[in-house]
A and B are shown apart, each in its own frame.
Chain A
């Protein structure tokens, strides 16, 4: 168990006979109560294919059935039933090439993190721009790791705070805007035909995907994954 922020936890799973996955895929986690009642939910895989264990990062929903169990009740050594990996269109490997444009809202960063970790594990210098939108600094995931992630060559990670920025912050604030997308630079411009992955709550994905298409990105190169209800 890894504490990512005051609420979110990463679970490191040792899955017997794990056949490997592609960055961006998810797992189904199924919980079974003593009377046989079951609940299952999907969680993106945060770890890169190069890592032998499978890592999930769960950002709990208040009053949720499954996510608070995973962040508060699960202890190291517990057994969980998982199924996967699942998902085809929302995946990327270094062999697909770039440039890569990643846009994450809240826990939507998780599958994008798998892509960034995979890029790092392969020591790829593919031009990559990431823009992560979070409400406050305490909602942010993987901040330190992202600040240190290599190769630095070709990689730029930007944050925007929609509610409260950390003290002394002189970067972006507010929702992702057309201007922010433009300021990500030429590898992220429609002319560069980047592979674009957008993940987060439905409202975030709708907003950002519309901005991208309006800016001239080919809708066929924009892949989305929506986590929550609208």
Chain B
């Protein structure tokens, strides 16, 4: 049992508490977490690639990508810096669409981004209608500071797993900790089990 903080009342959120994972608070704004400057990518040079331990790698240009079936979806997102934002509306391509036809025995994925950021996610977490590459937020093109032109979106894990400025997925046989995962953050990052840091 945590010690009571003398005189602290707290501000109970006016939202369904079962939608806020432990240790998170309800946020109406949209904070930003990134370790470096926001890249300003050039759409003409943009591509999205799936490679690594796969039979045949796949790659899409921006125009190819825009021609893929688009899904719009509304999800709750949870950042390890403690904020949760509910009912965020996105548009993008389901990972089920992108991974359709990818045959592999490997179980891990490293998502990599413009600027060198990486994060690791089990391949199974990207399937089953639970992950997307999003390029719209609230009906408008995704802004660079929120990861535009396109970011990974894996809302059932802490938001650092939803790599901004994502450019590709490399399927790996061994699990390879990414940027924050090497810097003290949890390897899997389930907000409902409060897996924030290595020791959680």
Contacts and interface: CB of A to CB of B under 8 A. Distances in A.
Interface string A29-41: 0111110111111
Contact of A89 (B9, B30, B35, B145): B35
B55 interface: no
A226 B9 contact: no
Contact of B32 (A30, A36, A213, A230): A230
Given A40-B82, A202-B32, A209 B37 contact: yes
Contacts, number: 111
A40 B197 CA distance: 15
B interface, size bucket? 35 or more
A167 interface: no
B36 A220 contact: yes
B188 interface: no
A210 B37 contact: yes
Given A42-B81, A219-B36, A226-B32, 8 more contacts: A38-B10, A41-B82, A65-B25, A78-B5, A206-B38, A209-B37, A223-B35, A229-B32
Interface of B: 2-12, 22-23, 25, 27, 29-40, 81-83, 115-116, 145-146, 179, 182-184, 197
A38 B183 contact: no
Interface in A202-229: 202, 205-206, 209-210, 212-213, 219-220, 222-224, 226, 228-229
A229 B29 contact: yes
A86 interface: yes
Contact of A229 (B31, B40, B115): B31
| 7 cross-chain pairs, A with B, having the tightest CB-CB distances, nearest first | A229-B29, A88-B183, A209-B37, A229-B31, A31-B5, A65-B11, A33-B10
Interface string A42-69: 1000000000000000000000010001
Contact of A32 (B3, B34, B146, B182): B3
A154 interface: no
A39 B11 CA distance: 9
A33 B29 contact: no
